[in-house]
Amino acid sequence: VILVDGAERAVISALDRGLAYGDGVFRTLAIREGAPRQWRRQYAKLAADCEAIGITPPAELLLRGEVRQIAQAEQRCALKIIVTRGPSERGYRYDTKTPAVRIVLSSPYPQYPPSYYDCGVRVRRCRVRLAGQPALAGIKHLNRLENVLARAEWTDSDIAEGLLLDNGDCVIGGTMSNLFLGRSGTLVTPDLDRCGVAGVTRDRVIHAATARGIAITIGNIGWRDVLSADEAFLVNSLAGVWPICELEGTKLSTGPLVRSVQCWLDQDDDADLA
């Protein structure tokens, strides 16, 4: 199903700035048992990302209705919401009066091997570096060529994800996931002030850890920090939590923290649309 501004159609204007300049934002969320997961957090992020680049976000009620329509029809799927600045004349300048265009579309829920969740995933180190751009850091915008290039670096289907560093040698996260390390019973996750995407599941982990009195540090992480961590794991809205069991050929152990995090997120699997 594809809804463009609420209507069932599979196309957008060739003049849309989302196409011309990647001028927009998106989110990917899980629909399970006919309900979108973490709707409030997802909408809040989408709206904040829109505002960060000067797009007036679509009303929550409007978008929620479209998400519910697809959720009820599909029951279980990956839902993607794209919001663009809409069509415009040629040129980078935009008219603030043009309403945003919203695209809501469903894809089959990805069928990851259960071992990814249980035993962990093999991960590589990507060659492409993320560029530091504080004006866009953390935002899930449509300028994602770095992720496309990174994902094109490997075809081995045994490698589930690639880790990306910035040009200051800090590890920022996976091509489609956020990274956490367990270190002496505390959690560490990369600072996303210069690049990277701040996902909803990352927020949930930070929130859940804090609520349970587990210390969490947001800071710079080097490659050796990942290799020497007690445990390392990746999170996103569709996959949940994947322990990293092998990183560029080095075995990592799966410890108690990642199991706790998996458990916390299961307990907080918010399906409330309101």
**Segment contacting a copy of itself by CB under 8 A, of 64-72, 100-108, 185-193, 251-259:** 100-108
- Pick from 42, 147, 237, 254: which binds a copy of itself (CB under 8 A)? 147
- Pick from 76, 122, 125, 144: which binds a copy of itself (CB under 8 A)? 144
* Contact between 145 and a copy of itself per CB under 8 A: yes
**Segment contacting a copy of itself by CB under 8 A, of 31-39, 101-109, 203-211, 227-235:** 101-109
For residue 215, what are the contacts with CB-CB under 8 A and spacing of at least 6?
A: 185, 186, 187, 209
- Pick from 31, 103, 241, 257: which binds a copy of itself (CB under 8 A)? 103
* Contact between 12 and a copy of itself per CB under 8 A: yes
- Name which of 41, 20, 17, 18 is nearest 29 in CA terms: 41
* Contact between 274 and a copy of itself per CB under 8 A: no
Find the angle CA(258)-CA(274)-CA(237) to the nearest 5 degrees: 30
- Pick from 141, 183, 202, 204: which binds a copy of itself (CB under 8 A)? 141
Choose between 22 and 255: whose C-beta lies nearer to a copy of itself.
Answer: 22
What is the rounded CA–CA span in Å between residue 232 and residue 205?
13
Report the nearest approach of a copy of itself to the CB of residue 59 (Å): 21
Choose between 91 and 213: whose C-beta lies nearer to a copy of itself.
Answer: 91
What is the rounded CA–CA span in Å between residue 85 and residue 24?
6
Half-sphere exposure of 1 (CA within 13 A, CB side): 22
Contact of 130 with 146, CB cutoff 8 Å: yes
**Segment contacting a copy of itself by CB under 8 A, of 76-84, 111-119, 179-187, 211-219:** 76-84
Give exposure, 25-63, as e/b (b: 16+ Cβ within 10 Å): bbbbbbbeeebbbbbebbbebbbebbeeeebebbeeeeb
> Cα dist. 193→18, 51, 101, 196, 197 in Å?
24, 17, 28, 8, 10
For residue 113, what are the contacts with CB-CB under 8 A and spacing of at least 6?
A: none
Show the site string, 23-52: x = touches a copy of itself by CB under 8 A, - = not. Answer: x--x-x------------------------
* Contact between 75 and a copy of itself per CB under 8 A: no
Phi, psi of 60 (to 5 degrees): -60, -40
Show the site string, 52-71: x = touches a copy of itself by CB under 8 A, - = not. Answer: -xx-----------------
- Pick from 72, 75, 115, 167: which binds a copy of itself (CB under 8 A)? 167
What is the rounded CA–CA span in Å between residue 170 and residue 129?
10
Residues making contact with a copy of itself (CB under 8 A):
2, 4, 9-23, 26, 28, 53-54, 78, 80, 82, 84-85, 89-94, 103, 105, 107, 110, 128-129, 131-133, 135-136, 141-152, 167, 175-176, 195
